[in-house]
Amino acid sequence: MEPLAAERRTQGVQRGGRAARVVASVVAATAAELTRVGYGALRIEEVARRAGVNKTTVYRRWPTKAELVCAAARALLGEMVAPDTGSLRGDLIAYLWRAAQRARDPKLQGLLVTLNSRLDPELEALVQDLRNRARQMRVDLVRRGIERGELPRGTDPELVAEIVSAPILHRVLHLGEDVDEAHVAAVVDLVLAGAAACAVRPT
Amino acid sequence: MEPLAAERRTQGVQRGGRAARVVASVVAATAAELTRVGYGALRIEEVARRAGVNKTTVYRRWPTKAELVCAAARALLGEMVAPDTGSLRGDLIAYLWRAAQRARDPKLQGLLVTLNSRLDPELEALVQDLRNRARQMRVDLVRRGIERGELPRGTDPELVAEIVSAPILHRVLHLGEDVDEAHVAAVVDLVLAGAAACAVRPT
DNA sequence: TGTTAACGCAACTATAAGTTGCGTTTTTGT
DNA sequence: ACAAAAACGCAACTTATAGTTGCGTTAACA
């Protein structure tokens, strides 16, 4: 029984060989071109030229534009590791600041804009998965803070996680504006104060 | 001195005549096609077919895809009127609930996704303008609440406006998820409680 | 009612997408 | 080391869509 083509495409690439070099350069070129011209105007031939390979090579490994962009996203968007500073306030500031930093990385700019643009149903599944992981990490941070007694029992961790992260994510992902660490801290402090005073109950 | 072509394109169309009908049907078809296939795959010829006109008619009035989408956005995205319920809490809930409702309108779906996707620099100016107006309206609501004494003096109205609106806008515009009125109220209540307890000073 | 602007239609050019066949190079397995 | 298999480069090709042009026709307005 031979391995499926889909597996060979993304995993079965030999480490360090020619194939690995091709994949790496095409992925980098895809991200660069996405930043330069965006998804709609992304031309496979130009990606190939920029990567120093023939366009048939790109077409054979990634038959569609969506698969190419998915591969680039998987390769360049590594998992975030959960912070653990000892306090909820520190964890939230650390997490949101790192998330903001990453979102401002010029190399990831076009890729993130593309993923947030609902351009292809095939990209949506990947985006959903990435978002769910990140969201779960945020909720877990808040839940841990509640268990530590930093917020009242009965506080809804999902609501707090959403309210504290949305202002930062909305700025950097949606508006494309920058944030500084003081702003992150101001948001976290206001929301934590609200949660402490409010004690919203999960429905 | 004859009127500029650009003015004739969007304004000088005679009321009720054939031209007005053409503009209206093309604008509607553009929005519908944006919802169906998105900006990247938007084909002028298909818009024309759907609008019941010839493609040359569309090309003559709107030479580029971006101008066509801009015109559709201007025609379909009317100004929001500021709420005035007497209380800051009521104003914020009313504003955010209406904004969420509008963002969920199926006819506007594709248009809003397009405007949020940074697909064309020509669209960005329009988007910036729309966003700035909306943002200013939210800040004014909060500022009025502070002047009424509903929040402490020294509260930063821009920070509060951002934190209270981002969770809702992030959900409906960025994530494409739905919100109910109870959720809007929960967000507003938590943020107002935080602002009351925090009294962040503008820098 | 005549003048003008807008529209419909058909044909055209140009560009990009995507495919195929074949020879060459690299990797892999023994 | 050497044969088999996989991946790559190259050139040529088909197809599809974008966008333009010229000309005859229709509808609005004074």
Contact between chains at B190 and A119 (C-beta distance less than 8 A): no
B65–chain A nearest CA distance, Å: 12
DSSP category for residue A84 = -
Segment A88-113 shows an average pLDDT of: 96
Residue B68 CA to residue A15 CA, distance in Å, equals 48
Q: Please name the nucleotide lying closest to A14, CA to C1'.
A: C27
Any chain B CB within 8 A of the CB of A173? yes
In a shared domain, residues B67 and B90: no
Any chain B CB within 8 A of the CB of A190? yes
Confirm whether A46 is domain-assigned: yes
What CATH number did the domain enclosing A43 receive? 1.10.10.60
For chain A, the average pLDDT equals 90
In a shared domain, residues B58 and B101: no
Q: How many domains does chain B have?
A: 2
What CATH number did the domain enclosing B123 receive? 1.10.357.10
The reply to whether the CB atom of residue A173 sits less than 7 A from any atom in nucleic acid chain D is no
DSSP category for residue A82 = P
Residue B28 CA to residue B8 CA, distance in Å, equals 19
Confirm whether B203 is domain-assigned: no
Domain closes at, from A26, A55, A75: A75
Residue B15's pLDDT band (boundaries 50, 70, 90)? Answer: low
Range of weakest confidence among A132-141, A180-189, B5-14, B154-163: B5-14
In a shared domain, residues A59 and A122: no
Residue B98 CA to residue B121 CA, distance in Å, equals 28
> What's the per-residue H, E or C state across A117-160?
CCCCHHHHHHHHHHHHHHHHHHHHHHHHHHHCCCCCCCCCHHHH
Residue B98 CA to residue B96 CA, distance in Å, equals 5
Residue of B nearest to A189 (CA): B198
In a shared domain, residues B58 and B90: no
In a shared domain, residues B92 and B178: yes
Residues in CB range of A112: below 8 A, 6 or more apart: A103, A173
Instruction: List, for residues A21-79, the tens digit of each pLDDT value.
Output: 999 999 999 999 999 988 888 999 999 999 999 999 999 999 999 999 999 999 999 88
Instruction: List, for residues B118-170, the tens digit of each pLDDT value.
Output: 888 889 999 999 999 999 999 999 999 999 999 999 999 999 999 999 999 99
Domain that holds residue B36: 5-75
Any chain A CB within 8 A of the CB of B175? yes
Residue B121 CA to residue B62 CA, distance in Å, equals 16
B158–chain A nearest CA distance, Å: 12
Any chain B CB within 8 A of the CB of A189? yes
In a shared domain, residues B37 and B99: no
In a shared domain, residues B118 and B158: yes
Confirm whether A203 is domain-assigned: no
Residue A182 CA to residue A180 CA, distance in Å, equals 5
Q: Report the pLDDT value the prediction gives residue A200, as an integer from 0 to 100.
A: 47
DSSP category for residue A41 = T
B112–chain A nearest CA distance, Å: 10
Q: Report the pLDDT value the prediction gives residue B107, as an integer from 0 to 100.
A: 93
Domain closes at, from B53, B75, B97: B75
